[in-house]
């Protein structure tokens, strides 16, 4: 399901991190269901709609669209063309008439997705530039050591290096449409199933080992003649090739008998290894392979080169992995944590507050929003700065579901900061047409500038209003009586946010929370009326 939904967004050319979107869907409390997909699309800010239609009307809609199969255990069909519809027509017996359509978009409202997508895009660009430079060096190096055997081996090594990179990138969700299309072609093929396995060689994943092996071959074939005779290089690589033969048979055995699906990239690696083995066999018959004259210092140098390349690949993996952890949404564990009923049950056991807004208080969002958040923060608190950014994202994503009240504690660093912020808001922003946007922008700028003198220069006010002074005293008294001892403190519908949750968890729960709270309020109203 999650893969099909990511494919659908890719067809629409919406800039997404596939890994991140797939994890969001898989972590949704209602997974696998179309509701979970719809909630994730809403979180991303993608305009979409779900409706029912007759089978005969499927050709009336623009492609692509999603069709959920009622008997497919959460399976989704991505229909991107007339040909795709024709191929899947027999499966429509499992379809219940529901269709999901979406509009294309140039960006998403999810900041984490945008960060990850930008990071993946940079990796692709840097990889392309590095490949061009590397290829230039390789071609230049062959001017003095050209033989058909060397060029044939080098060509296969470069092809293997390219395949190794695509396999390596896949584990971080960095995908290429042409490679995805290649992996999806044919029956019983699924690269992800095989590549995501835990099979390793001496603790190194096969995907990493493939990249390192072909990188080592490429470096040695291209620049090895600077160290020793070409015959010694080919002889050394032929000996290493013997060790790949058991891995070739294991790969085919694993795909056929254990995974029961084929990875076309893995099969391509097998083909390249067999091609190299054939060239080495030819070189042996021509007398080009000999172990005589290969010195111990040369072998030690090769070992050091191999270890250096291994360190580079593992270092790159660690660097990319740090960004990948941004996309870790908790998988199946978060399906329980982000269940709205479980969250509300835990929430209602927390400390209760009177969160009734004061007159003239800084409140953003719809008055009818079922989720009321009160944020108590310090204007000189770095965690508060970070949480304000998350809250701003929540408001941007779900403006009709969330109402935010902001209360500030008196800062020991500069007590006048709260007064000036509130006075500018009260006199310049409050009650204006763009009040919500300008309010969040004001608070954002404070945390960006973080200097009262500079802030006053950008946001000047001539006089302090007595209404603001009264509001300040009310806030400070409420914070003292409520026993707020740390910032930021979040209060959700009158209850303190449980320690097990962060405000970022609401990003995954707002749609279902909205529905559950509305239902609870309707039931309470019905009881009162009766």
Question: CATH number for the 2-102 domain, one of 3.90.70.10, 3.40.50.720, 3.40.1280.10, 3.30.110.30?
Answer: 3.90.70.10
User: What does the domain layout of the chain look like in residue ranges?
Assistant: 2-102, 113-326, 351-529
pLDDT, tens only, 496-514: 999 888 888 888 888 888 8
pLDDT, residue 143, reads: 55
Question: Is 24:41 a contact under the CB 8 Å cutoff?
Answer: no
**Prediction pTM value:** 0.59
Question: Is 384:411 a contact under the CB 8 Å cutoff?
Answer: no
Looking at residues 266-271, what average pLDDT do you find? Answer: 87
pLDDT, tens only, 396-419: 888 889 999 999 988 767 778 889
pLDDT, tens only, 81-114: 888 888 877 887 888 788 888 888 888 888 788 8
| Strand ranges in 453-525 using DSSP code E only, listed in sequence order | 489-492, 495-496
pLDDT, residue 492, reads: 92
**Is a pLDDT exceeding 80 seen at residue 466?**
yes
pLDDT, tens only, 118-128: 877 877 787 77
Give the confidence band of 165 by pLDDT, cuts at 50, 70, 90. Answer: confident
Rounded distance, CA 183 to CA 192, Å?
A: 9
pLDDT, tens only, 29-55: 777 788 888 888 888 888 888 888 887
Report phi then psi at 98, rounded to 5. Answer: -90, 135
- The average confidence (pLDDT) of the chain is 81
pLDDT, residue 162, reads: 84
pLDDT, residue 350, reads: 92
pLDDT, residue 332, reads: 54
pLDDT, residue 497, reads: 92
pLDDT, residue 153, reads: 82
Question: Is 254:300 a contact under the CB 8 Å cutoff?
Answer: no
pLDDT, residue 525, reads: 59
Rounded distance, CA 379 to CA 388, Å?
A: 10
Give the confidence band of 321 by pLDDT, cuts at 50, 70, 90. Answer: low
Give buried/exposed letters for 484-500 (b at 16+ CB in 10 A, else e): beebbbbbbbbbbbbee
Give the confidence band of 73 by pLDDT, cuts at 50, 70, 90. Answer: low
Give buried/exposed letters for 77-114 (b at 16+ CB in 10 A, else e): bbbeeeeebeeeeeebeebeeebbbbeebeebbbbbbb
pLDDT, residue 491, reads: 93
Rounded distance, CA 18 to CA 8, Å?
A: 11
| CA distances to 16, 47, 102, 112, 396 from 108, in Å | 8, 10, 13, 10, 11
Closest by alpha carbon to 245, among 217, 203, 280, 216? 280
For 87-96, 193-202, 241-250, 485-494, which range has the lowest pLDDT when averaged over its residues? 193-202
Rounded distance, CA 209 to CA 168, Å?
A: 9
Looking at residues 372-379, what average pLDDT do you find? Answer: 91
**Is a pLDDT exceeding 90 seen at residue 279?**
no
pLDDT, residue 432, reads: 87
Question: CATH number for the 351-529 domain, one of 3.40.225.10, 3.30.70.1020, 3.30.2320.50, 3.40.30.10?
Answer: 3.40.30.10
Question: Is 189:263 a contact under the CB 8 Å cutoff?
Answer: yes
Question: Is 94:69 a contact under the CB 8 Å cutoff?
Answer: yes
Looking at residues 12-38, what average pLDDT do you find? Answer: 82
Looking at residues 336-349, what average pLDDT do you find? Answer: 86
pLDDT, residue 327, reads: 47
Strand (E) or helix (H) holding 376: strand 371-377
Report phi then psi at 13, rounded to 5. Answer: 60, 35
Omega within 30 of 0 (cis) for the link into 488: yes
Strand (E) or helix (H) holding 70: none
**Helices of type H across 286-412:** 296-324, 333-337, 340-347, 382-397
Question: Is 477:501 a contact under the CB 8 Å cutoff?
Answer: no
**Is a pLDDT exceeding 90 seen at residue 530?**
no
**Is a pLDDT exceeding 50 seen at residue 170?**
yes
Q: Is 319 exposed, middle or buried (0-12, 13-18, 19+ CB in 10 A)?
A: exposed
Give the confidence band of 383 by pLDDT, cuts at 50, 70, 90. Answer: confident
**Is a pLDDT exceeding 60 seen at residue 329?**
no
């Amino acid at each position: 399901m999650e893969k099909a939904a990511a494919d659908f967004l890719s067809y629409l050319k919406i800039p997404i991190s596939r890994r991140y979107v797939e994890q969001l869907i898989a972590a949704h409390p209602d997974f696998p269901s179309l509701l979970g997909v719809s909630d994730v699309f809403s979180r991303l800010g993608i305009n979409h709609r779900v409706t029912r239609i007759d089978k005969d009307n499927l050709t009336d809609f623009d492609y692509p669209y999603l069709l959920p199969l009622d008997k497919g255990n959460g399976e989704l069909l991505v229909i991107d063309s007339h040909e795709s519809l024709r191929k899947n027509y027999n499966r429509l017996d499992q379809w219940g008439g529901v269709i999901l359509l979406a509009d294309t978009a140039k960006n998403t409202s999810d900041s984490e997705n945008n960060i990850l997508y930008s990071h993946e895009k940079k990796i692709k660009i840097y990889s392309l530039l590095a490949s061009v430079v590397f290829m230039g060096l390789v071609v230049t190096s062959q001017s003095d050591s050209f033989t058909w055997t060397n060029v044939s081996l080098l060509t296969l090594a470069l092809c293997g290096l390219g395949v190794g990179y695509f396999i390596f990138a896949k584990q971080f969700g960095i995908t290429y449409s042409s490679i995805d299309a290649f992996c999806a072609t044919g029956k019983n093929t699924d690269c992800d199933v095989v590549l995501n396995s835990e099979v390793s060689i001496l603790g190194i994943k096969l995907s990493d080992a493939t990249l390192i092996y072909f990188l080592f071959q490429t470096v040695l074939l291209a620049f090895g003649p600077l160290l020793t005779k070409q015959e010694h290089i080919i002889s050394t690589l032929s000996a290493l090739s013997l060790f790949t033969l058991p891995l070739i048979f294991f790969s085919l055995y694993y795909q056929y008998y254990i995974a029961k699906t084929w990875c076309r990239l893995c099969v391509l690696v097998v083909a390249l290894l067999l091609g190299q083995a054939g060239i080495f066999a030819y070189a042996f018959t021509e007398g080009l392979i000999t172990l005589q004259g290969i010195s111990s210092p040369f072998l030690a140098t090769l070992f050091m080169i191999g270890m250096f390349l291994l360190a580079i690949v593992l270092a790159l993996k660690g660097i990319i992995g740090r960004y990948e952890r941004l996309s870790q949404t908790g998988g199946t564990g978060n399906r329980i944590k982000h269940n709205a009923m479980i969250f509300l049950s835990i929430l209602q056991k927390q400390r209760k507050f009177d969160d009734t807004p004061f007159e003239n208080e800084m409140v953003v969002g719809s008055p009818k929003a079922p989720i009321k958040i009160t944020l108590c923060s310090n204007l000189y608190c770095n965690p508060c700065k970070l949480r304000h950014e998350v809250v701003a994202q929540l408001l941007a994503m779900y403006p009709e579901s969330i109402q935010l009240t902001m209360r500030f504690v008196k800062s020991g660093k500069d007590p006048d900061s709260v007064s000036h912020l509130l006075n500018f808001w009260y006199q310049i922003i409050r009650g204006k047409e763009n009040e919500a946007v300008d309010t969040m922008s004001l608070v954002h700028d404070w945390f960006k500038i973080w200097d009262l003198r500079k802030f006053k220069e950008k946001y000047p006010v001539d006089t302090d209003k007595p209404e603001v002074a009264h509001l300040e005293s009310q806030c400070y008294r409420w914070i003292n009586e409520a026993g707020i001892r740390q910032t930021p403190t979040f209060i959700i519908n009158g209850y303190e946010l449980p320690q097990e949750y962060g405000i970022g968890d609401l990003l995954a729960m707002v749609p279902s929370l909205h529905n559950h709270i509305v239902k609870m309020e309707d039931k309470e109203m019905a009881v009162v009326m009766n």
